[in-house]
Amino acid sequence: MVAQTVRRAAPFAAACMVLVGPFLIENRFLLKVFTFVGLNVLVVVGLAILFGYAGQVSLGHAAFVGIGAYTCAILTTRHDVEWILAFGAAGLAAALGGFLLALPSLRLKGHYLAMATLGFGELATLVFVEAEHVTGGVDGFAGIPFPSIGAFEFREPSALYWLVWGVVGVVLVLAANMTRLRPGRAMRALHGSELGAMASGVDVVGVKVRSFVMSSALAGLSGALYASVVGFISPSVFTVGASVTFLAMTVIGGTGSLAGPLAAAALLTLLQYVDALIPGVSRQTALFIQSYQADVYGLAIILVVILSPKGIAGLFRRVRDGVRP
């Protein structure tokens, strides 16, 4: 009874905390850090759907973030498209990319699918670098306007923070509903046993394609927001390294859960800025963590696999059910 109340109240409490963030945080830099947390959460929620629910691995998700970012950047600067339309177009463009990447997934499994998505990611980075007249190449793409809806421009860090977290909130609610009902069950079934899912009447092809499309669309939206918040993008942001980071957050967060990957995305993003968050921690420590980021994530994954194979979500479930780890 108490557990259930806590479970129902927790999302509201978290939402309220996020909502009042800008009133509590006076430091503009910190507010930006928390905005970045939201951007990463958006990508990781998509990956949680694809990997954590449907069981399909992607090592190329940064490519979709990039597709979204460049789409938004190009439309708003060169074609004077309304921001909100460019934002939507970014999601659509990434979704289209996700649809294309879903096609090999119908034939490939496990490691082979991972390799195919990795190749897709590398290819995307190559295109971002080489298609100079469109993307600006290695020098990047500058002068991307702030997000705006009608006459209102989101310039202030607090406004950007609310915009990003507003999108995250809407996406989380929709994703939570979707995963709880029929589509979510089909995805988990696919994850559990593809043969079993087929035999139960699940349209395995349809579920795979939809999962890829949804998760890449979310990455694309995150990319569009990133481009508009920062104002500058370059291929170095959308590398396979970033894809691995996103997947690491999802794995550490745990399968069959949205809250776990959300927590992992938040923790691992904040870890890089530990000096600004916790008084007394030196800048050196944060720089050290940043330069050894890949190793930190690798270590975290090893710890998760040894201590709680189902990630943060699994650990939480065990604590809730009163089973000792």
Partner 1 sequence: MTMLKVGSITKRFGGLTAVDSVSFEVFEGTIKALIGPNGAGKSTLFNCLTGFDQPDSGTVEFKGRQIVGQKPLDTVRAGLARTFQNTRLFDEMTALENVMVGAHARQRAGFAAAALLLPSAVSEDRDAANEAARILRVIGIDEWATTPAADLPAGIRRLVEIARALATVPSLLLLDEPAAGLNVPETRELVQTLFRVRDDGTTVLLVEHDMGLVMEVSDEIVVMDRGAKIAEGPPRMIQKDPSVIAAYLGEEAVDE
Residue 254, classed as helix, strand or coil, is: coil
- State in angstroms the smallest separation of the CB of 244 from partner 1: 24
**Cα–Cα nearest to 222, from 246, 240, 252:** 246
- State in angstroms the smallest separation of the CB of 255 from partner 1: 7
- Round to whole Å and give the CA distance between 212 and 96: 10
Residue 198 interacts with partner 1 (CB under 8 A)? yes
The stretch among 111-119, 148-156, 190-198, 261-269 that binds partner 1 (CB under 8 A) is 190-198
> Among residues 60, 183, 223, 261, which is the contact residue for partner 1, using CB under 8 A?
183
- Round to whole Å and give the CA distance between 144 and 77: 6
> Among residues 180, 283, 298, 319, which is the contact residue for partner 1, using CB under 8 A?
180
Residues 217-276 that bind partner 1 (CB under 8 A): 255-256
Nearer Cβ to partner 1 (109/180): 180
Nearer Cβ to partner 1 (203/295): 203
CA 192 to chain centre: 23
Residue 153: its H or E element: strand 152-153
Amino acid (1-letter code) at residue 34: F
Residue 166 interacts with partner 1 (CB under 8 A)? no
Residue 9 interacts with partner 1 (CB under 8 A)? no
Residue 309 interacts with partner 1 (CB under 8 A)? no
- Round to whole Å and give the CA distance between 51 and 47: 6
Q: 258: left (phi > 0), else alpha (psi -120 to 50), else beta?
A: alpha
- State in angstroms the smallest separation of the CB of 72 from partner 1: 23
The stretch among 29-37, 98-106, 202-210, 273-281 that binds partner 1 (CB under 8 A) is 202-210
> Among residues 177, 282, 285, 290, which is the contact residue for partner 1, using CB under 8 A?
177
Task: Give the CA angle between residues 199, 203, 208 to the nearest 5°.
Answer: 120
Nearer Cβ to partner 1 (79/180): 180
Residue 210 interacts with partner 1 (CB under 8 A)? yes
Residue 61, classed as helix, strand or coil, is: helix
Pair 147, 83: CB distance under 8 Å: yes
Nearer Cβ to partner 1 (204/267): 204
Residue 50 interacts with partner 1 (CB under 8 A)? no
CA 260 to chain centre: 13
**Cα–Cα nearest to 21, from 38, 2, 5, 40:** 38
Tokens of 318: 């065990």
Residue 205, classed as helix, strand or coil, is: helix
> Among residues 191, 217, 239, 297, which is the contact residue for partner 1, using CB under 8 A?
191
User: Residues binding partner 1: what is the number (CB under 8 A)?
Assistant: 30
Residue 131 interacts with partner 1 (CB under 8 A)? no
Residues in touch with partner 1 (CB under 8 A): 174-175, 177-178, 180-186, 188-189, 191-193, 195-204, 210, 214, 255-256
